[in-house]
Structure 1
Protein backbone atom coordinates (compact mmCIF):
# COMPACT_ATOMS: atom_id res chain seq x y z
CA UNK A 1 0.00 0.00 0.00
CA UNK A 2 1.51 3.37 -0.98
CA UNK A 3 2.16 5.93 1.71
CA UNK A 4 -0.44 8.70 1.64
CA UNK A 5 1.01 12.16 2.22
CA UNK A 6 -0.93 14.98 3.81
CA UNK A 7 0.77 17.32 1.35
CA UNK A 8 -0.03 17.64 -2.32
CA UNK A 9 2.61 17.02 -4.97
CA UNK A 10 2.31 20.70 -5.88
CA UNK A 11 3.09 21.82 -2.33
CA UNK A 12 6.07 19.51 -2.13
CA UNK A 13 7.43 20.40 -5.57
CA UNK A 14 7.05 24.15 -4.93
CA UNK A 15 9.01 23.94 -1.67
CA UNK A 16 11.71 21.74 -3.20
CA UNK A 17 12.10 24.19 -6.08
CA UNK A 18 12.53 27.09 -3.63
CA UNK A 19 15.20 25.18 -1.73
CA UNK A 20 17.11 24.39 -4.94
CA UNK A 21 16.81 27.98 -6.16
CA UNK A 22 18.21 29.25 -2.85
CA UNK A 23 21.17 26.87 -3.01
CA UNK A 24 21.87 27.82 -6.63
CA UNK A 25 21.50 31.56 -5.96
CA UNK A 26 24.12 31.23 -3.24
CA UNK A 27 26.35 29.11 -5.47
CA UNK A 28 26.46 26.45 -2.79
CA UNK A 29 28.52 23.47 -3.85
CA UNK A 30 27.72 19.93 -2.75
CA UNK A 31 29.49 20.14 0.61
CA UNK A 32 28.01 23.51 1.59
CA UNK A 33 24.56 22.39 0.47
CA UNK A 34 24.76 19.21 2.56
CA UNK A 35 26.08 21.14 5.57
CA UNK A 36 23.27 23.69 5.37
CA UNK A 37 20.55 21.11 4.80
CA UNK A 38 21.95 18.92 7.58
CA UNK A 39 21.83 21.83 10.01
CA UNK A 40 18.26 22.64 8.97
CA UNK A 41 17.25 19.02 9.54
CA UNK A 42 19.00 18.89 12.93
CA UNK A 43 17.27 22.12 13.98
CA UNK A 44 13.89 20.76 12.94
CA UNK A 45 14.47 17.62 15.00
CA UNK A 46 15.63 19.50 18.08
CA UNK A 47 12.99 22.24 17.96
CA UNK A 48 9.94 20.47 16.56
CA UNK A 49 10.19 16.84 17.72
CA UNK A 50 9.55 15.79 21.29
CA UNK A 51 12.77 14.62 22.92
CA UNK A 52 11.18 11.26 23.78
CA UNK A 53 10.39 10.62 20.10
CA UNK A 54 13.51 12.15 18.57
CA UNK A 55 15.86 9.16 18.43
CA UNK A 56 13.29 6.93 16.75
CA UNK A 57 12.32 9.64 14.26
CA UNK A 58 15.96 10.40 13.42
CA UNK A 59 16.61 6.69 12.90
CA UNK A 60 13.60 6.36 10.60
CA UNK A 61 14.62 9.49 8.68
CA UNK A 62 18.13 8.11 8.18
CA UNK A 63 16.76 4.78 6.92
CA UNK A 64 14.49 6.53 4.41
CA UNK A 65 17.32 8.83 3.30
CA UNK A 66 19.69 5.92 2.81
CA UNK A 67 17.09 3.97 0.83
CA UNK A 68 16.20 7.01 -1.27
CA UNK A 69 19.83 7.87 -2.02
CA UNK A 70 20.79 4.32 -2.95
CA UNK A 71 17.84 3.57 -5.18
CA UNK A 72 18.43 6.37 -7.68
Structure 2
Protein backbone atom coordinates (compact mmCIF):
# COMPACT_ATOMS: atom_id res chain seq x y z
CA UNK A 1 0.00 0.00 0.00
CA UNK A 2 1.56 3.33 -1.03
CA UNK A 3 2.24 5.83 1.69
CA UNK A 4 0.92 9.36 1.55
CA UNK A 5 3.77 11.86 1.57
CA UNK A 6 3.75 15.16 3.39
CA UNK A 7 5.73 16.56 0.46
CA UNK A 8 4.27 17.58 -2.88
CA UNK A 9 5.15 15.77 -6.07
CA UNK A 10 6.64 19.05 -7.28
CA UNK A 11 9.03 19.25 -4.30
CA UNK A 12 10.16 15.68 -4.80
CA UNK A 13 10.58 16.05 -8.57
CA UNK A 14 12.53 19.29 -8.23
CA UNK A 15 15.04 17.76 -5.83
CA UNK A 16 15.30 14.59 -7.90
CA UNK A 17 15.97 16.61 -11.05
CA UNK A 18 18.66 18.69 -9.32
CA UNK A 19 20.39 15.66 -7.80
CA UNK A 20 20.33 13.81 -11.13
CA UNK A 21 21.72 16.95 -12.80
CA UNK A 22 24.72 16.99 -10.45
CA UNK A 23 25.48 13.34 -11.17
CA UNK A 24 25.13 13.94 -14.92
CA UNK A 25 27.32 17.07 -14.74
CA UNK A 26 30.11 14.95 -13.28
CA UNK A 27 29.48 12.08 -15.72
CA UNK A 28 29.20 9.78 -12.71
CA UNK A 29 28.79 6.14 -13.72
CA UNK A 30 26.10 4.08 -12.00
CA UNK A 31 28.40 2.52 -9.41
CA UNK A 32 29.84 5.90 -8.35
CA UNK A 33 26.36 7.45 -8.27
CA UNK A 34 25.08 4.65 -6.02
CA UNK A 35 28.13 4.97 -3.77
CA UNK A 36 27.64 8.72 -3.38
CA UNK A 37 23.89 8.43 -2.81
CA UNK A 38 24.43 5.63 -0.29
CA UNK A 39 26.97 7.75 1.57
CA UNK A 40 24.50 10.64 1.56
CA UNK A 41 21.76 8.44 3.04
CA UNK A 42 24.15 7.13 5.70
CA UNK A 43 25.23 10.65 6.60
CA UNK A 44 21.63 11.86 6.82
CA UNK A 45 20.67 9.00 9.09
CA UNK A 46 23.75 9.38 11.31
CA UNK A 47 23.41 13.16 11.68
CA UNK A 48 19.64 13.66 11.68
CA UNK A 49 18.10 10.62 13.36
CA UNK A 50 18.26 9.68 17.03
CA UNK A 51 20.69 6.85 17.69
CA UNK A 52 17.93 4.56 18.97
CA UNK A 53 15.99 4.91 15.69
CA UNK A 54 18.82 4.62 13.14
CA UNK A 55 18.74 0.84 12.63
CA UNK A 56 14.95 0.81 12.31
CA UNK A 57 14.99 3.64 9.77
CA UNK A 58 17.83 2.08 7.79
CA UNK A 59 15.97 -1.24 7.67
CA UNK A 60 12.75 0.47 6.54
CA UNK A 61 14.66 2.42 3.90
CA UNK A 62 16.30 -0.75 2.58
CA UNK A 63 12.94 -2.54 2.43
CA UNK A 64 11.33 0.37 0.59
CA UNK A 65 14.24 0.44 -1.87
CA UNK A 66 13.93 -3.28 -2.55
CA UNK A 67 10.17 -2.98 -3.02
CA UNK A 68 10.61 -0.13 -5.51
CA UNK A 69 13.12 -1.89 -7.78
CA UNK A 70 11.54 -3.33 -10.90
CA UNK A 71 12.23 -6.92 -11.87
CA UNK A 72 11.98 -6.27 -15.63
CA UNK A 73 15.12 -6.36 -17.74
CA UNK A 74 14.65 -2.94 -19.42
CA UNK A 75 17.15 -0.20 -18.58
With the shorter chain as reference, the TM-score category is over 0.9
1:52 paired with 2:52, answer yes
| Distance (Å, rounded) in 2 between the aligned partners of 1:26 and 1:41 | 19
1:22 paired with 2:22, answer yes
Structure 2 unaligned regions, length at least 5? none
- Any residues of structure 2 matched to 1:1-72 within 5 Å, and which? 2-70=2-70
> Under a length normalisation based on structure 1, what TM-score does the superposition of the two structures give?
0.92
Tell me the C-alpha RMSD between the 2 structures: 1.4
| Distance (Å, rounded) in 2 between the aligned partners of 1:6 and 1:56 | 20
Greater helix share, structure number: 1
| Distance (Å, rounded) in 2 between the aligned partners of 1:2 and 1:41 | 21
Structure 1 stretches of at least 4 aligned residues deviating more than 6 Å after TM superposition: none
Q: How many residues align?
A: 72
